[in-house]
Chain A
Amino acid sequence: MNSLDMMRLLPEVILILTGVTVMLLEPFLPAAASRKPLGWIAIAGTLASLAASFSQLHQAPGTAFYGMVSVDAFSIYFHLLIAMVLLTTLLSSLEYFDEHTTHAGEYFALLAFACSGMMLMTSAADLLLVFIGLEISSISTYILAGFRKTEGTSAEAALKYFLLGSFATAFFLYGIALLFGATGSSNIAGISAGLATGPTPVLAILALAMILIGLGFKVSAAPFHVWTPDVYQGAPAPVVGLMSTAPKAAAFAVLLRITYGALPTLGHGWTQLIAILAAASMTIGNLGALQQRNVKRMLAYSSIAHAGYLLVAFTALSQEGIAAASFYAAAYAAMNIGAFTLITHFAGYKEELQTIDDYTGLARRSPVLAAVFGLFLLSLIGIPFTGGFFGKFYVFTAALHSGLVWLAIVGLLNSGLGCFYYLRLLVRLYSTPDRVEEMRPTPKLTVPLAIAVALAAIATLVLGIVPGHVLHLAQAAAATYSAIAK
Chain B
Amino acid sequence: MNLNGCILSLIVFAPLAGALLVLLLPSRKDSKLVHMVTLGITLVLFLMTLHLPAHYVYGGNGFQFEQNTPWIASPAIRFHLGVDGLSMWLMVLTGLLAPLGVIASWKAPAERARYFFSLYLVQQTAIFGVFAALDLFLYYGFWELSLVPMALLISGFARSSNGTRAAVRFFLYAFIPSALLLVAMIWLYAKTGSFDYATLHQLAASHAIAAAPCALLLASLAFLLAFAVKVPIFPLHGWLADAVDEAPTAVVIVLAGKLGLYSILRFMLGIFPDQARIVAPYVVALAVISILYGALLAMAQTNFRRLAAFSIVSHLGFVMLAIFSFTQTATSGAIYQVLSHSVTDAAFFILLGLLFERYGTNEISRYGGLAIKSPWFATLFVITALSLIGLPMLNGFVGEFLILAGSFSVHPAWTSAAALGVILGAVYVLRLVQRVFYGELNETLPAAPDLLLREQLALWPVAVLMLAMGVASPVWMRAINEYTQAAATHFTPIAMNVLAGGVR
CB distance from B311 to the nearest CB of A (A): 28
Question: Which A residues lie within 8 Å of B151 (CB)?
Answer: 423, 427
The answer to whether A475 and B168 touch across the interface, beta carbons within 8 angstroms, is no
CB distance from A319 to the nearest CB of B (A): 11
The answer to whether B172 and A416 touch across the interface, beta carbons within 8 angstroms, is yes
The answer to whether A385 and B145 touch across the interface, beta carbons within 8 angstroms, is yes
Question: Which A residues lie within 8 Å of B168 (CB)?
Answer: 420, 423-424, 427
CB < 8 Å neighbour of A384 from B115, B145, B186, B190: B145
Q: Which of A265-280 contact B (CB under 8 A)?
A: none
B359 contacts the other chain (CB 8 A): no
Scan B127-149; emit 1 where CB is below 8 A from any A CB, else 0.
Answer: 00000000001001110110110
The answer to whether A400 and B179 touch across the interface, beta carbons within 8 angstroms, is no
CB distance from A472 to the nearest CB of B (A): 8
CB < 8 Å neighbour of B175 from A408, A416, A467: A416
Interface size class, chain A: 20 to 34
The answer to whether B190 and A397 touch across the interface, beta carbons within 8 angstroms, is yes
Scan A109-145; emit 1 where CB is below 8 A from any B CB, else 0.
Answer: 0000000000000000000000000000000000000
A393 contacts the other chain (CB 8 A): yes
The answer to whether B171 and A419 touch across the interface, beta carbons within 8 angstroms, is yes
Q: Which of A471-486 contact B (CB under 8 A)?
A: 471, 475
A53 contacts the other chain (CB 8 A): no
Q: Which of A404-450 contact B (CB under 8 A)?
A: 405, 408-409, 412-413, 415-417, 419-420, 423-424, 426-427, 430-431
B393 contacts the other chain (CB 8 A): no
CB < 8 Å neighbour of A413 from B115, B176, B187: B176
Question: Which B residues lie within 8 Å of A74 (CB)?
Answer: none
CB < 8 Å neighbour of A427 from B167, B176, B190: B167
Q: What CA separation (Å) do A10 and B62 show in the bound complex?
A: 58
Q: Is the interface of B mostly helix, strand, loop or mixed?
A: helix
The answer to whether B180 and A468 touch across the interface, beta carbons within 8 angstroms, is no
Which of B68-76, B415-423, B432-440 sits within the interface?
Answer: B68-76
CB < 8 Å neighbour of B140 from A363, A384, A401: A384
The answer to whether A430 and B72 touch across the interface, beta carbons within 8 angstroms, is no
B384 contacts the other chain (CB 8 A): no
A307 contacts the other chain (CB 8 A): no
Q: What CA separation (Å) do A415 and B180 show in the bound complex?
A: 10
The answer to whether A412 and B72 touch across the interface, beta carbons within 8 angstroms, is no
B189 contacts the other chain (CB 8 A): yes
CB < 8 Å neighbour of A419 from B145, B175, B190: B175
Q: What CA separation (Å) do A401 and B186 show in the bound complex?
A: 8
CB distance from A66 to the nearest CB of B (A): 37
CB distance from A324 to the nearest CB of B (A): 10
CB distance from A93 to the nearest CB of B (A): 30
CB distance from B441 to the nearest CB of A (A): 36
Q: What CA separation (Å) do A396 and B115 show in the bound complex?
A: 34
CB < 8 Å neighbour of B72 from A389, A408, A420, A471: A471
The answer to whether A405 and B183 touch across the interface, beta carbons within 8 angstroms, is yes
The answer to whether B183 and A416 touch across the interface, beta carbons within 8 angstroms, is no
Q: Please, which residue of chain B has its CB at the minimum distance from the CB of A430? A: B156
B155 contacts the other chain (CB 8 A): yes
The answer to whether A431 and B172 touch across the interface, beta carbons within 8 angstroms, is no
Question: Which B residues lie within 8 Å of A427 (CB)?
Answer: 151-152, 155-156, 164, 167-168
A394 contacts the other chain (CB 8 A): yes
The answer to whether A413 and B180 touch across the interface, beta carbons within 8 angstroms, is yes
Q: What CA separation (Å) do A405 and B175 show in the bound complex?
A: 19
Known: A396-B183, A420-B168, A430-B152. A384 touches B142 (CB 8 A): yes
CB < 8 Å neighbour of A431 from B73, B156, B178, B190: B156
Question: Which B residues lie within 8 Å of A417 (CB)?
Answer: 176
CB < 8 Å neighbour of A397 from B73, B156, B189: B189
Scan B37-81; emit 1 where CB is below 8 A from any A CB, else 0.
Answer: 000000000000000000000000000000000001111000000
What count of chain B residues pass the 8 Å CB interface test?
33
Known: A408-B183, A427-B152, A427-B164. A475 touches B74 (CB 8 A): yes
The answer to whether B186 and A400 touch across the interface, beta carbons within 8 angstroms, is yes
The answer to whether A412 and B179 touch across the interface, beta carbons within 8 angstroms, is yes
Question: Which B residues lie within 8 Å of A409 (CB)?
Answer: 180, 183
The answer to whether B176 and A384 touch across the interface, beta carbons within 8 angstroms, is no
CB distance from A479 to the nearest CB of B (A): 12
Q: Please, which residue of chain A has its CB at the minimum distance from the CB of B176? A: A416
Question: Which A residues lie within 8 Å of B190 (CB)?
Answer: 397, 400-401
CB < 8 Å neighbour of B75 from A397, A405, A412: A397
The answer to whether A431 and B155 touch across the interface, beta carbons within 8 angstroms, is yes
Scan B152-181; emit 1 where CB is below 8 A from any A CB, else 0.
Answer: 100110000000100110011001101110
Question: Which B residues lie within 8 Å of A393 (CB)?
Answer: 137, 182, 186
CB distance from A244 to the nearest CB of B (A): 24
Q: Which of B137, B151, B152, B179 has the most CB of A within 10 A?
A: B179
Question: Which B residues lie within 8 Å of A397 (CB)?
Answer: 75, 186, 189-190
The answer to whether B72 and A468 touch across the interface, beta carbons within 8 angstroms, is yes
Question: Which B residues lie within 8 Å of A467 (CB)?
Answer: 72
Q: What CA separation (Å) do A409 and B189 show in the bound complex?
A: 15
Q: Which of A363, A415, A423, A467 has the most CB of B within 10 A?
A: A423
The answer to whether B167 and A396 touch across the interface, beta carbons within 8 angstroms, is no
Question: Which A residues lie within 8 Å of B137 (CB)?
Answer: 393
CB distance from B24 to the nearest CB of A (A): 11
CB distance from B380 to the nearest CB of A (A): 34
CB distance from B166 to the nearest CB of A (A): 11
CB distance from A57 to the nearest CB of B (A): 19
The answer to whether B172 and A384 touch across the interface, beta carbons within 8 angstroms, is no
Q: Please, which residue of chain A has its CB at the minimum distance from the CB of B75? A: A397
Question: Which B residues lie within 8 Å of A415 (CB)?
Answer: 179
CB distance from B15 to the nearest CB of A (A): 15
Q: Please, which residue of chain A has its CB at the minimum distance from the CB of B219? A: A405
Q: Please, which residue of chain A has its CB at the minimum distance from the CB of B158? A: A431
CB < 8 Å neighbour of B179 from A385, A413, A423, A431: A413
Scan A244-270; emit 1 where CB is below 8 A from any B CB, else 0.
Answer: 000000000000000000000000000
A378 contacts the other chain (CB 8 A): yes
A383 contacts the other chain (CB 8 A): yes
Question: Which A residues lie within 8 Å of B180 (CB)?
Answer: 409, 412-413
Q: Which of A338-387 contact B (CB under 8 A)?
A: 363, 367, 378, 383-385
CB < 8 Å neighbour of B115 from A367, A408, A419: A367
Question: Which A residues lie within 8 Å of B183 (CB)?
Answer: 396, 400, 405, 408-409, 412
Q: Which of B137, B171, B183 has the most CB of A within 10 A?
A: B183
The answer to whether A383 and B164 touch across the interface, beta carbons within 8 angstroms, is no
Q: What CA separation (Å) do A371 and B178 show in the bound complex?
A: 24
Query: Can you add 15 more A-B contacts, CB < 8 Å, to A412-B179, A412-B182, A423-B168?
Result: A378-B148, A393-B137, A393-B182, A397-B186, A400-B186, A409-B180, A412-B183, A413-B180, A419-B172, A423-B151, A424-B168, A427-B155, A427-B164, A427-B168, A468-B72
A-B residue pairs, 8 tightest by C-beta: A384-B141, A416-B176, A412-B179, A416-B179, A427-B155, A400-B190, A401-B190, A384-B144
Sample of 26 A–B contacts (CB below 8 Å):
A383-B148, A384-B144, A389-B144, A393-B137, A393-B182, A393-B186, A394-B75, A397-B190, A400-B186, A401-B190, A405-B183, A408-B186, A409-B180, A409-B183, A412-B179, A412-B180, A416-B176, A416-B178, A420-B168, A424-B168, A427-B167, A431-B155, A431-B164, A467-B72, A468-B72, A475-B74
